[in-house]
Structure 1
């Protein structure tokens, strides 16, 4: 039942709607169209391994951007 609870919460529907879906299918979630707080709420619903992967990817991208900015501002003009 825990999985059904998580699915229901994730898709914003009831367990009954999952079990008796009929023709209704949960909508795909697109994080980009959510507010920052909603994005964080959705990420917090992932299991620990998935969260770790997502946060590692974000850390990597932010580090890469900071390095590019540093390089452009301090080295490229030499």
Structure 2
């Protein structure tokens, strides 16, 4: 069985928002999810940067679509009132 590198362990701890000691002393309990809603914007951006490139691009496309939709909605609401 291959042991993870220290760098891999550090990245796992960062991903789950725990310190190394908490990660090492989980007593067999592995976190199942990252609660991103509790993170600051800077932490969320750091987590996004850790994604694989394909996943990052998919997320960026979703964000772009939502921003475009919001701009169109604002534009049409403003022009419908005039």
Same fold by TM-score greater than 0.5? yes
| 1:13-52 mapped onto 2 (5 Å cutoff) | 14=20, 17=24, 22-52=27-57
Moved over 2 A (4+): 6-9, 11-14, 20-23
Determine the structure 2 residue equivalent to 1:55. 60
Q: 2 CA distance for matches of 1:23 and 1:44?
A: 28
Query: Aligned-pair distance for 1:42?
Result: 0.6
Q: CA RMSD in A?
A: 2.5
User: Per chain length, whose mean CA-contact separation is higher, i.e. which structure has more relative contact order (CA < 8 Å, sep 6+)?
Assistant: 1
Q: How big is each residue's C-alpha offset from its partner over 1:7-59, in whole Å with a ceiling of 9 and x where there is no partner?
A: 34422465x83xx9643121521222211100100101101000000111001
Determine the structure 1 residue equivalent to 2:81. 77
Give the TM-score normalised by the residue count of structure 1: 0.72
Instruction: Mark the runs of 5 or more structure 1 residues left unpaired by the alignment.
Output: none
Give the TM-score normalised by the residue count of structure 2: 0.69
Provide the secondary structure at the position in 2 that maps to 1:64: helix
